[in-house]
Structure 1
Amino acid sequence: MTHQMKKIDFPVSNVRHFLEPGPVVLVSSQHHGETDIMTLGWHTVLEFSPSLIGCMISAGNHSHQLIRQSGECVINLPTSSLLETVVKIGNCSGTRCDKFHDFALTAEKGERVSAPLIAECHASFECTLHNDQLVDGFSFFIFEVIKAHVAASPEKPETIHYCGDGEFMLSGKHVSRRSLFRPDML
């Protein structure tokens, strides 16, 4: 049986603590031989086929320009073992450092894009810019995933989720309710 929860007023500027989307990712980019990696928490699945992912990448971020100019990137999924690296990458600018070198990350050649994959991440999704109509007004890029690379194990990696204020949550126990779904809704 469910029960009603008593609620209190909460600052609207802090709702991200509850609504921050999915796992933190590392977005790698490349243009004219210059590479960058950025930490990103603002992304969402927009469509399944084609596989479209929306990402908010601030115009003040060095990766914004590299991605805008190249029209591609790689969305990499780090696990909890990379938490400190994820934070450190987010605290520095690619205009002042070589993040692959400085954080001892391995750049792997993509199959479909020139942006590098990060070998230490559990998954890497090669993306091309599908639609840029919201970039100028909202810094919102819509990418199509054109090639996906995922480690064979673990099947359910411990991913990192940002809650704001420098706090993270690690993915936890998986609970199946598959039997409750209609087959066409899976």
Structure 2
Amino acid sequence: MSKVTFKPGTMVNPVPVVMVTCGDMEAESNIITIAWTGIVNSEPPMTYISVRKSRHSHAMIEGSGEFVINLTTEKLAFQTDYCGVKSGRDVNKFQEQKLTPVPGQHVKCPMIEEAPVNLECRVREVHQYPSHDMFVADILAVHADESLFHENGKLELERAGLLCYSHGEYFGLQKHPLGKFGYSIMKPKTKKRIAAEERINKQKKWSNKKG
């Protein structure tokens, strides 16, 4: 396979795209769209966001040490793009995009009610780089829409219609997984058991719809 080589660039794709809320719910708050985010530790659960130093939200997060990561969806793609290109210095993004601010349990900045999942975060460390600062944070709480839970209590994020970002464009995530973690080394007996469980679950869903 022949390849084209070019200068270094930020070419890890696709990446998550999220709306990050910051500021104070009782005073000034803002929404910034972030594509440079992820998980850095599991115990305790920690995440990060990288924010350009010139952005309005940068000073808010730096001052308060708090933010909320709001997962976004295909239905929220327009709002997600708007909050990434418009500055909170000029507009109230909640009002302009008819997004609903709701209080968190641990931080002063609002969460976005329309987002399927919200992660309340408190900054632990700040790593300064030439163009961006990376805010590494502890995840204090996770809030998920009740409609995304199966009757057995499992969170089914695949039903949320989540959004990702790849090389300048937004894409929806496919609803059907290619395989579960570890499927490449799964024993045949385990595969049969899982397939049987999935058939039963599908039959239950069909029965519930008919009922």
TM-score w.r.t. structure 2 length?
A: 0.75
List, as ranges, runs of 4+ consecutive aligned residues in structure 1 with deviation greater than 3 Å: 12-15, 135-138
Question: Which residue number in structure 2 is paired with residue 147 of structure 1?
Answer: 141
Question: Helix, strand or coil: the match of 1:86?
Answer: helix
Q: Secondary structure at the match of 2:16?
A: coil
**Which one is further off, 135-144 or 39-48?**
135-144
Matches within 5 A, 1:8-27: 8-13=3-8, 16=11, 19-20=12-13, 22-27=15-20
Partner in structure 1 of residue 23 of structure 2 = 30
After superposition, what is the alpha-carbon deviation per residue over 1:33-76, rounded to whole angstroms, capped at 9, x for unaligned? Answer: 11000000001210011111121111111111000000000000
Tell me which of 174, 178, 181 is aligned to 2:177: 174
1:54-65 equivalent positions in 2, closer than 5 A: 54-65=48-59
> Which protein has the bigger helix share?
2
SS at match of 1:7: coil
List gaps (5 residues or longer) in structure 2: 149-155, 187-211
Q: Which consecutive unaligned segments of at least 5 residues does structure 1 have?
A: 1-5, 182-186
Q: CA deviation at 1:164?
A: 2.2
Task: Kindly state the Cα deviation for residue 136 of structure 1 after the two structures are TM-superposed.
Answer: 6.0
Q: Secondary structure at the match of 1:63?
A: helix
Q: How does 1:41-56 map to 2 (within 5 A)?
A: 41-56=35-50
Q: Distance in 1 between matches of 2:97 and 2:137?
A: 26
Equivalent-residue separation in structure 2 for 1:13 and 1:158 (angstroms):
32
Q: Give the greater-gyration-radius structure (CA).
A: 2
1:77-121 Cα deviation digits (max 9, x unpaired): 011100011111111000111111111000000100001000000
User: How many residues were matched structurally?
Assistant: 173
2:165 aligned with 1:162: yes
Contact 2:16 2:36 in 1 (8 A): no
Please tell me whether residue 72 in structure 1 is matched to residue 75 in structure 2.
Answer: no
CA contact (8 A) 1:21 1:43 kept: no
What secondary structure, in the 3-state scheme, does the structure 1 residue paired with 2:52 have?
coil
> Relative to structure 2, which stretch is displaced further, 69-78 or 170-179?
170-179
Q: Which residue of 2 aligns with 1:118?
A: 112
Q: Which amino acid aligns with 2:164?
A: H
Say what the alpha-carbon RMSD is for the aligned residues: 2.0
Residue of structure 2 equivalent to 1:96: 90
Q: Percent identity of the aligned residues?
A: 25
**Aligned partners of 2:15 and 2:166 also within 8 Å:** no
Q: Is the 8 A contact 1:21 1:41 kept in 2?
A: no
CA distance in 2, matches of 1:52, 1:21: 21
* Deviation (angstroms), 1:11: 2.8
**SS of equivalent to 1:139:** strand
Determine the C-alpha separation between the residues in 1 that align with 2:89 and 2:97.
Answer: 15
Q: Does the 8 Å contact 1:21/1:44 carry over to 2? A: no
* Alpha-carbon distance in 2 for matches of 1:21, 1:175: 16
Q: What CA distance in whole angstroms lies between the structure 1 residues aligned with 2:15 and 2:133?
A: 19
